[in-house]
Amino acid sequence: MAKKKQDITLLREKINQLDSGLIKLLAQRRKLSKEVIVVKETFHKPIRDQQREAELLNRLIKAGKKEGLDSHFLSKVFYEIIEDSVRLQQNFVQTKLNTKSEKKKAIKIAIQGIEGSYSYLASQKYFTHFNSELTFVFKKLFDEVIDSVEKGEADYAVLPIENTTSGGINEVYDLLLHTTLSIVGEEKFQVKHCLVALEEVPIRKIKKVLAHHQAAAQCSKFLESIPNVGVEYFVDTAMSVQKIKEVGNSSFAAIASEEAATLFNLKILQRDIANQPENFTRFLVASRKPEEVDSRIPCKTSIVMATSHTAGSLVEALNVFRKYNVNLTKLESRPIIGNPWEEMFYLDFEGNIIDETIKNVMDELGQYTRFIKILGSYPSQELSKTKLEYTKILESGIQKSALPISYDSQNIINKKSKSKNYRLASREYKSEDTVIKVRDVIIGGNNFVVIAGPCSVESKEMILQCALEAKENGVQILRGGCFKPRTSPYSFQGLGLEGVEFLSEAGKYYEMPIITEVMDTEQVADVAKVSDILQIGARNMQNFALLKEVGKTHRPIMLKRGLSASIDDWLNAAEYILSQGNRQVILCERGIRTFETATRNTLDLSAIPVLKELTHLPVIVDPSHAVGERNKVIPLAKAAKVVGAHGIMIEFHPDPPNALSDPEQALYFQQFEELMRDLYKL
């Protein structure tokens, strides 16, 4: 036993030495990044070279595979390194552009709250590349924060403006209208709420929770789960922890960050208590004077405007952005005090106020507004990730071609056609292809996507193993059945909501959207909270109550063709979803029953070109369910791409013969890898 303990100590010491070495290497790399930007600045070269980034990632991942490291792990590490390098170089350029004299050694930052608050943590993150000493001016109210910068007490104000769970922070929006400060930056900070108490006690014994009203709104479901608890609103999350410490009552708790709990030496009773696991707050950084943004840096501009209180006035103003192809990223309305039922509009859009295009936008916008104020132009936090080139990672030299078949939708709709019951799904209603975005994945248009995973989620370990296989081979969307409609009542029926949770965790870890099937109207709301796409199976294609229910959700719907359904039946089923307001429908051809019995079903590939003439909806092919035999799945998957499908859905399994659902059609990992390599050649 003593020897084992000694061995662990030695191993840990080796790990510590490696970690220290990694820190030194990261510091050296950052130093080189600083030298690179000096050279770029001398010759005014672009800050980012995404071709170089792609080559770097592809080279490192290929080298990593030889060392047994998966591409997801390596890409996550190097995305962070690349982002740090880009931020550092951008900050160098911005500082040089906006600093006339010697750089300040100390920066004063005004925030609402105290040390340990989310504003404090977001400020530290934002100013990390400034290489200046940070001092904070703590205030209780947002207007005091702005006032302190306006009077010169602080250099910058850091203010929360919106949250992904609780929405916009109205008080800050209203203050922006009247302040003389200019927005010079933004920071998006992940908020991880914890329940904090004086000591370790059962949560059911907590009688009062102190929380900022925004934090309480973001954790409302958790608070509802504590019996007979009272909620007392507090001015700040970290201050609520401070109050708990002062009161000394073990039945009191607070909602705050882990850092605040550590700062005041309190216990964390539970982590991640927010309603939504991905909970982000966007902060604005403001100063007395506007700052220029280098033309090489992606920029965002914020304005506030008021239009005349007449029909179409807002539309006319917004059409200016469309005319100049300027993308709006935010539109928020706030009532005009003293003018009942009239609104002031806050807009964020991509572009730099010094660009000629944006100058034209602002000039023309003045024709359609009665008030306009520029709040600021500032570097955008949205850094696009360099895409991995799986054509080079899976097999060097493979070139991915465009889809071989395209359709002129205008010619199609001009053709004489019979009257259809499905109006919203038809080309006559919408001539251009519907393109559906699921996170960063584009379904439709000229894109070809691969959706893959096991037929059923059998365990957490199994779906994580499948997710890794999918990610390593360029799959864009992870699939897995959780509610399984089986012909026999004795077959595996799926893990239900527990399976959905396992699938969701795997998707988040490997950064892939997920799709799973819903079978009943009562499942829709719960599954839609976590699944990026909802699937309607073949047996439910004409379950009209279910179609109407999913039509009310905001999630894209994949509608599989019924076993004996005509194309007309199928499109009419899609119409049920579209008519409820959900216009994100993906059709999935999965084989139909015919007189032929050689395979499980007959894959109707002729439906693909027919559908492209009749409908604007994207079409996916599922060869796994069509033939039910793994050896025939691969050629049909390739054929689906050649015939013009927008993607395929494939099943694979770590141990196909022992799969709990449809073992005959699941590909072995090696087969799936070969299929993905071949698809990239087409």
Is the pLDDT assigned to residue 105 strictly greater than 80?
no
The answer on pLDDT for 402 being more than 60 is no
Percentage of the chain modeled with pLDDT above 90: 72
Q: Tell me the three state secondary structure of residue 671.
A: helix
Domain regions of the chain by residue span? 50-101, 104-188+281-291, 194-273, 292-381, 417-483+496-681
Q: What are the pLDDT digits (tens) for 158-204?
A: 999 999 888 899 999 999 999 999 999 999 999 999 999 999 999 99
CATH number for 194-273: choose from 3.30.70.260, 3.40.50.720, 3.40.50.2000, 3.40.190.10.
3.40.190.10
Instruction: Establish whether 281 is a catalytic residue.
Output: yes
Eight-state DSSP code of residue 135: E
The CB density around residue 25, as the number of other CB atoms within 10 Å, is 10
> DSSP character for 602?
B
pLDDT at 278 over 60: yes
Give the DSSP H/E element, type plus range, for residue 559: strand 557-560
The verdict on whether 487 is a catalytic residue reads no
> Phi and psi dihedrals of 573, rounded to 5?
-65, -40
What is the number of other CB atoms lying within 10 angstroms of the CB of residue 501?
Answer: 15
At 406 the pLDDT is 46
| Residue 282: closest CA among 110, 129, 118, 508 | 118
Q: Which CATH class is domain 292-381?
A: alpha beta
Catalytic site residue from 281, 301, 434, 516: 281
Residue 630 in contact with residue 664, Cβ under 8 Å?
yes
Give the H or E element holding residue 536.
strand 533-536
| Spatial CA neighbour of 540 closest among 506, 577, 499 | 577
The string of pLDDT tens digits covering residues 421-461 is 899 999 999 999 999 999 989 999 999 999 999 999 999 99
Give the pLDDT confidence of 232-241 residue by residue, as tens digits: 998 889 999 9
104-188+281-291 and 194-273 share one fold:
yes
pLDDT band for position 413 (cuts 50, 70, 90): very low
d(CA 194, CA 209): 12
Give whole-number Cα distances, 540 to 352, 550, 639, in Å.
50, 12, 27
Instruction: Tell me how far apart the alpha carbons of residues 574 and 618 are, in angstroms, rounded to a whole number.
Output: 12
What percent of the chain has pLDDT above 70?
93
Give the count of beta carbons closer than 10 Å to the beta carbon of residue 346: 22
CATH code of the region 417-483+496-681: 3.20.20.70
Strand order in the sheet with 252-256: 230-233, 208-211, 252-256, 194-197, 267-271
Pairing of strands 647-651, 619-621: parallel
Residue 401's pLDDT is what?
A: 39
- The rounded mean pLDDT for the chain is 90
Residue in 92, 127, 142, 283 annotated catalytic? 283
Architecture of domain 104-188+281-291: 3-Layer(aba) Sandwich (3.40)
**Alpha helices (H) along 99-189:** 118-126, 142-150, 170-178
Instruction: Classify residue 178 by burial, with Cβ atoms within 10 Å: 0-12, 13-18, 19+.
Output: exposed
- Quote the pLDDT of residue 102: 52
Query: Which of the four pLDDT bands, split at 50, 70 and 90, describes residue 607?
Result: very high
pLDDT at position 104 is 65
What is the pLDDT confidence band of residue 419, given thresholds at 50, 70 and 90?
Answer: low
Residues in the chain: 682
